[in-house]
Amino acid sequence: MHPYQNSSLSVDERVEDLISRMEPHEKMRQLHYQSPAIERLGVPAYNWWNECLHGVARNGKATVFPQAIGLAATFHPELVKKVFRTIALEARSKYAASVLADQRGQYRGLTFWTPNINIFRDPRWGRGQETYGEDPYLMGRMGLAVVEGLQGENPEEELLSAACAKHYAVHSGPELHRHDFDARPTEQDFRETYLPAFQELCEAGVETFMGAYNRVYGEPACGSKLLLEDILRQEWGFKGHVVSDCWAIRDFHTQHHVTKTTTESAALALKMGCDLNCGCVYEELPAALQEGLITEEDLDRSLRRLFRTRFRLGMFDETEASLNEMVACTEVAGAENGALALEAARETLVLLKNKDNALPLEANGANYYVCGPFASSLEVLLGNYFGMNSPLISILEGITGKVGANTNIEYHPAFLPDREKPNKIDWGLGPASGKDAVIAVVGIDPSMEGEEGDAILSDYAGDRRSVELPAYQSEYLHRVADECDSPLILIVTGGAAVSLGSLVEKVDAILWVGYPGQAGGQAVGDVLFGDLNPAGRMPFTVPAGDAQLPAYEDYSMTGRTYRFLKDAPEFPFGFGLGYSRFEYRDLKLEYTELPAGEDLELSVTVTNTGEREGTEVAQVYLSDLESSVRTPICQLVDFQRASIAAGEEARLHFRIPAKWMQVTFEDGTRHFEAGEFSVYVGGSSPGERSAALGAPEGVTASFQLTRD
């Protein structure tokens, strides 16, 4: 037995011994995502590329949870952590079964390139659905829950699976130019908006960072001294490994033109600290070594990071018995995990309007008309980067499953999602009259938004050119609202903002459902018929049309997201209704004068004034009233879900971390400034629009931040 095969030694000792026994050509091949076996040393082959955005993806059967943007709408980190712990266990089981069958290909491993924590700065970005919304604090909280769920309770010693913070950094569209653009946000926006979630996950011990395709301040992200050396390694102290986005290093010479040859690109990436190449450029490492562009120590540095991950994942201590135990650790796509998928789907749903208590509907003795092609679609359950399971419950099935035998449901697609119907004979409007309700399933689906090659109906490389509801959907719904006498309920699908325009005032109820996963249809039925009191909250702002959006290619945060948007949106960040009503009162701050660098504790009383138990998502926002430079209008700094019985109240306690009281200056430095701060606690982000839509009136208090 060699020392690296001795499990009683430390991981670092084992790694060093293994590397010392490898030849240079063997070392270089281990820096490819398809790492071949080294049979003479007993090193098994391993493919590093795997995905689990909302369930083990692209590898057949797995539990399909709601898409990431839907999980963000839960404002429930504990649930998200539980979801990703379940995903990690399913991954362990599937991985072990694959190893036992000697199947070691792509999407079978334990290194997951998840979560995507890029700020969802513009709703036209097709991959925004993969993120946790537009807010740095929410992104950090939810991203941290993903990492903790995936990596297990003691990741420094033993990894359940490996998580990855991506795409580092300033990466959020346009997809059409992701391989060639140079992102140059202001230093203030860079530090205030684009980096906080990455720093949060780094400090929490995320195992992997993935570099973005684009350049940042002129340097390609996967070969950036600023990003990979100065900030990630030196400033934040990152100890894990860095992987390139797939074929991103090739862009160095073909798109960014910062190098002239493939060999130079490979050398630049490795020297700057990109340890693993998803792509083929590292095939030129032998040439780079021969030409003196890299050294063997450069190879060893990256190998230490990569093998440290593999040893902590247990890949060098596997036996047939341990692998069989791993297979049995959970029932992949089984009933227990399916129940968790339903629980998660229920918490993602956001009720945006409920005029005159149009919802919930009656399940017996009623007459309903369901329309819209997404009603029967399975695509709107899945989003992108998905696994597959049976059953997948469509929204139409979820509605049908809730009603009694004496209730009539008629269904008609009625319109196409993105174009005029070729057939001019219209049977889609007549059934909408005289019904107890028309339930229209509208919005967007993964064929209309996604990654550059996935969204087959997008003419903008996966992005959308407009955030407004597609014209042919809108036209039909206006006809129903104007010409028919039935209450109109909208169910809005999609992973991003869909502006409804004047329909907001015309319809009776609006439910945003995102891409809710395998049990999405059942969850929707539960809300529509009152078996569930919804409590989801919008993780992004829905703008009041395209005119409210800045230029897509502009990476300044001016006018973007609730933090910097001065005009009234269609629906605000953090907004969501339920079948209960809540009141806030008696906000107490621990201190009204606080020394700089100290956290601030506060508490508030929330009362359920409704007639049924409900869950309120209480949110804390901070505003700097006296800063010497531009600061966000307000900033989410804490939140809490609270289930409160009808007529009861709860005293909720919060803590504002001191770091969110710092001011980010124009040069990117962060410091405390003495002055007055305002604290707002309520059920949505502060503003007149939240109140106009029915959010409970929040409470405010102020404190003075003093110098040390």
Residue 677 DSSP SS3 = strand
The residues, ordered by sequence, that sit 6+ positions from 101 with a Cβ below 8 Å of its Cβ are none
Of 450, 462, 457, nearest in space to 472 by CA: 457
Contact 398, 450 (CB under 8 A): no
Q: What is the DSSP letter of 577?
A: B
Q: Supply the DSSP string of 376-417, one letter for each residue.
A: G-SHHHH-SS--B-S----HHHHHHTTS-TT-EEEEE--S-S
Q: Which of the following is catalytic: 122, 189, 245, 526?
A: 245
Q: What CA–CA distances, in Å, run from 294 to 23, 152, 254, 551?
A: 16, 36, 21, 41
Identify whether 599 is a catalytic site residue: no
Q: What is the largest CA-CA distance in the chain?
A: 81
Q: What is the DSSP letter of 514?
A: E
- Measure the CA–CA gap between 621 and 295, rounded to whole angstroms: 50
- Count of CA atoms in the C-beta half-sphere (13 A) of 456: 1
Q: Distance of alpha carbon 127 from its chain centroid, rounded?
A: 9
Q: What CA–CA distances, in Å, run from 436 to 364, 367, 522, 673?
A: 11, 5, 21, 58
- Measure the CA–CA gap between 696 and 554, rounded to whole angstroms: 35
Beta strand pairing call for 408-412 and 367-371: parallel
- Measure the CA–CA gap between 263 and 251, rounded to whole angstroms: 13
Q: Distance of alpha carbon 393 from its chain centroid, rounded?
A: 22
Contact 490, 503 (CB under 8 A): yes
Contact 146, 344 (CB under 8 A): no
- Measure the CA–CA gap between 5 and 208, rounded to whole angstroms: 24
Would you please indicate which residues are annotated as catalytic (active-site) residues?
A: 245
